[in-house]
Amino acid sequence: MMPNNPDPATESPAFLMHDLARLLRSEFERRIAGSELGVTPIEGRILITLAMAGPLRQHQLAERLGVARMTLTGVLARLERAGLVTRHHDPEDGRARIVALTAPAQTLVPTIRAIGQEVRTVARGDMDEAAWDSFLAHARQARQNLLAATRRRSPA
């Protein structure tokens, strides 16, 4: 239940987005853990991230997931042993490793996507479709604004 006089600091855009992301991830991970997919929550997040983004360098995958590279390395080793991902050297940089889904992992993706959709449905609650779509459009625009600002600051 929302307090009558919420603390302005907890209603700031950064706090709200962080808290929303935390809650979405927590619910997604709870549902993955309760599924019979045979993957842990972090493994499920890795598989869906690779399904959405395509093959990625390990460090890019770690950044997207917000996990330490060393943590990711261990999880990827388990997924590789299970036949769900492959890792190979990047032809453009032999020090980098590229992570990709295997065919068996692709069979898990529809169920993981369905779990993600269930979580989004819970988050949407009784918001009508137009309000939800507007929220998502505004969130995408804010992300693009921040990415553009980051690119402007980065050396070419």
Q: What is the pLDDT of residues 14-45, one digit of tens each?
A: 898 999 999 999 999 999 999 999 999 999 99
* Residues 68-94 pLDDT 10s: 989 999 999 999 999 999 999 988 887
Alpha-helical segments (H) within 37-100: 41-53, 58-65, 69-81
- Surface-to-core class of residue 111, CB atoms within 10 Å of its CB (0-12 exposed, 13-18 middle, 19+ buried): middle
Tell how far CA 55 is from the center of its chain: 14
Taking the domains of the chain in order of start, what are their residue ranges? 21-125, 128-156
Q: Are strands 93-101 and 85-90 parallel, antiparallel or unpaired?
A: antiparallel
Q: Buried b / exposed e across 16-39, counting CB within 10 Å, b at 16+?
A: eeeeeeeeeeebbbebbeebeeeb
Multiple choice CATH, 21-125, 2.60.40.10, 1.10.3720.10, 2.40.128.630, 1.10.10.10: 1.10.10.10
